[in-house]
Amino acid sequence: MISLKIKIFILSCSVLFPLTILWGQTSQMPSGVSFQKKILLDRYVSEGASIGDIDNDGHSDIIAGPLWWQGPNFKVAYAYGPVNYFPITGPGLEGYATNFFTFPSLIDGNRWIDILQIGLPGTDSRWIKDPGKKSFPVSKPVPEPQYRKAVVNVCHESPVLVNVVGDEKKELLAFSEGRLMLGIPHKRNKEGWQVFPISEENQNRFPVYSHGLGVGDINGDGLKDVLEKSGWWEQPVHWDGITPWSYHPYPFSEGKGGAQMFVYDVDGDGYNDVVTAIDGHGYGLSWYEQIDDKGEIGFSEHKVMTDKSEDNPFGVSFGQLHAMASTDIDNDGILDIVTGKCYYAHNGRDPGAEDPAVLYWFKTRRHADGSAELVPYKIDDNSGVGRQISVGDLNGDGKTDIVTSNKKGVFAFIQK
């Protein structure tokens, strides 16, 4: 048994295989999915990574903070702004990068990708026009780009840029100035973004460092709703941009809340369910089956992981699930979940802080009796996640790949 572990460890240094046998377990079926790990950077530059064609050459690139790696080989890095490397620990906020999220998007409507930057919760967001036109080699001093105003006071630790209301542009979903809101680029690009509140203002209800936020059609009316750790907000038909959305309380997390939340039909019964981490600085992953509760929408919790490995059928338990993504990893037509441990999310003060910085994907497996489960497959044990993890086809082979950035560095996982 010892020699088998050594052999797997040696192989994992260059090619990462799916976890077909979890230690102490033999009941898990092979996934048929494997990844090759690329270490793009071994220093702390950002809490998140994203994917977009920055240089408009038809190939996807990888972005982390002010850096981007040119696809499809990702061997050359460029910078569109000054590059700072941060310590992984420190008093107060010193042990945190000032870059948390980068969202590549066509903000101004031309054919070049722009980048929306979001820093520490509570700071103002900003965007950079056409960074692929103005990038520089990392080896040389890089000037400040022209930053343009976006949404001020962006709170919450899981903001998302997504098309919520169904128009042509994506909106920034976050908390701002005590409200749950959507931020939309102004028609005059040099002005700050327009803010459309979803909720009434309540500073206690929407604190700066909040966790657990997502988008999806909960009630099946074809409109995307917004959910956070304590309930969901129903999008009105023909919303006027002023009227607050109807709030439906439900305790998806009674703790801190987790990360990005996802809405899809886990068990295949035709009704959308919810998948969420329970505590981004602790433990817990669950999916909530949508049920009829006396004529109203209700949910039934199915625990996937807790702080005890014996609570998972495959013996898996890890904490600090501070970033999540949903995608069809194995191309079976059903969405899966990608997440991992956020390395030193609170500078090493969280429970399990010294455990391996793992990265997993959870296969959505439906059974003939109508039940379902999220089956864990380990991708890596020395990278983990930050606050933003992104998925997409990096090399055009039709398979989903993964990029992540945190205090360990910047990584790409190319599906074989």
pLDDT digits (tens, 9 = 90+) for 103-131: 999 998 899 999 999 999 999 999 999 99
Q: Which residue has the tokens 């996802």?
A: 262
Strand partners, 361: 338, 377
* DSSP notation for 146-181: -EEE--SSEEEEEEEEE--SSSSS-EEEEEETTEEE
Distances from the Cα of 23 to the Cα of 6, 19, 315, 316, 377, angstroms: 13, 9, 8, 9, 12
63 within 8 A of 116, measured Cβ to Cβ: no
State the pLDDT at residue 7: 36
State the sign of the Cα–Cα–Cα–Cα dihedral 222, 227, 231, 232. negative
- Tell me how far apart the alpha carbons of residues 157 and 121 are, in angstroms, rounded to a whole number: 6
Strand (E) positions, 42-170? 50-52, 61-64, 67-69, 77-79, 101-105, 114-118, 126-128, 136-137, 147-149, 154-162
Q: Residue 35's closest CA among 380, 376, 390?
A: 380
**268 burial via Cβ count (<10 Å: 0-12, 13-18, 19+):** middle
- Please tell me whether residue 65 adopts helix, strand or coil conformation: coil
Q: What is the mean pLDDT of residues 174-203?
A: 90
Band of pLDDT at residue 19, cut at 50, 70 and 90: very low
User: Of all residues in the chain, what percent carry a pLDDT higher than 70?
Assistant: 93
Distances from the Cα of 293 to the Cα of 228, 265, 270, 289, 370, angstroms: 20, 18, 16, 12, 19
Band of pLDDT at residue 148, cut at 50, 70 and 90: very high
Q: What is the mean pLDDT of residues 197-214?
A: 94
266 within 8 A of 364, measured Cβ to Cβ: yes
Q: What is the mean pLDDT of residues 13-31?
A: 42
- Provide the b/e sequence for 20-33 (b: ≥16 CB within 10 Å): eebeeeeebeebeb
Strand partners, 377: 361
Band of pLDDT at residue 13, cut at 50, 70 and 90: very low
299 within 8 A of 292, measured Cβ to Cβ: no
- Tell me how far apart the alpha carbons of residues 363 and 31 are, in angstroms, rounded to a whole number: 8
| Poorest-pLDDT segment among 26-35, 99-108, 245-254, 323-332 | 26-35
Q: What is the mean pLDDT of residues 265-291?
A: 97
State the pLDDT at residue 12: 38
pLDDT digits (tens, 9 = 90+) for 328-356: 999 999 999 999 999 999 988 899 999 99
Band of pLDDT at residue 14, cut at 50, 70 and 90: very low
263 within 8 A of 227, measured Cβ to Cβ: yes
- Does the pLDDT value for residue 1 go beyond 70? no
pTM of the model: 0.91
Strand (E) positions, 168-295? 171-176, 179-184, 194-197, 213-216, 225-228, 231-234, 246-249, 260-264, 273-277, 285-293
Band of pLDDT at residue 28, cut at 50, 70 and 90: low
- Please tell me whether residue 4 adopts helix, strand or coil conformation: helix
Backbone angles phi, psi at 9, to 5 degrees: -60, -45
